Amino acid sequence: GAVVSQHPSRVICKSGTSVKIECRSLDFQATTMFWYRQFPKQSLMLMATSNEGSKATYEQGVEKDKFLINHASLTLSTLTVTSAHPEDSSFYICSATPGLAVSSYNEQFFGPGTRLTVL
Amino acid sequence: GDSVTQMEGPVTLSEEAFLTINCTYTATGYPSLFWYVQYPGEGLQLLLKATKADDKGSNKGFEATYRKETTSFHLEKGSVQVSDSAVYFCALGGAMNRDDKIIFGKGTRLHILP
């Protein structure tokens, strides 16, 4: 149980275009979803936290107009990288928390990640 | 603020060697502690966890004990395999009813040679 999927797994786009990444909790309702960014050989950097039906909370230094997050339902969150540039190329990982009804300590379950390459 | 420090890699071992990856943390309150593993090209998988002091998490031959007195959560395995080659992240998360955020260490890359 507690499976999180991401789509697409890999995307290549031209500079200036927008890219949408989906994150779905397949077998549980996620009260909170998180978006991370991982640079090569580095740790995960939390970008934002989103709760269903409310605006995402962005970490310091993350441009909210650049990285649009929508948490439309308890099983789906999307990250849209707007007007992507080569420096946005990275590995984006989402995670989801089922809430205390399922996990006694708000464990996060991670998606497999999306590799974004901006040419 | 809360933080996690883990030994820098890469760590290279021969198959069947003993593994220790050190991890220490700084936190207020009583966090949960985790080890996550990331295989090449994949997302993170929870390897093991401990939610209170003196708890021992274990999975796939890996173990880690939540030591409050030394604020440590070192990862150990008695006999590593080539398939254990991956990046290992130590992490801490809020206790119940606290902030959901997880704070990760920088990761330790492990290479196991056949």
Contacts B52 to A, Cβ<8 Å: none
**What pLDDT is recorded for position A9?**
94
pLDDT in tens, B21-76: 999 999 888 888 999 999 987 888 899 999 889 999 999 999 999 999 999 999 99
Instruction: Tell me the nearest-neighbour CA distance from B102 into chain A, angstroms.
Output: 8
In one-letter notation, the amino acid at residue B110 is L
**What pLDDT is recorded for position B97?**
43
Residue B4 has pLDDT above 80, yes or no: yes
The single residue listed with the structure tokens 């927008």 is A18
Residue A8 has pLDDT above 90, yes or no: yes
Q: If you average pLDDT over every residue of chain B, what do you get?
A: 91
Considering only the beta carbons, identify the residue of B44, B95, B97 that sits closest to A110: B44
**A94: which residues sit within 8 A by CB, 6+ positions away?**
A4, A6, A21, A23, A33, A34, A35, A36, A77, A79, A110, A111
More confident residue, A43 or A36: A36
Separation in Å, CA B17 to CA B11, B36, B79:
12, 21, 5
Confidence of residue A44 (pLDDT cuts 50, 70, 90): confident
**What pLDDT is recorded for position A37?**
94
Contacts A46 to B, Cβ<8 Å: 101-102
Which B residues 31-60 touch A at CB under 8 Å?
32, 36, 41-46, 49, 51
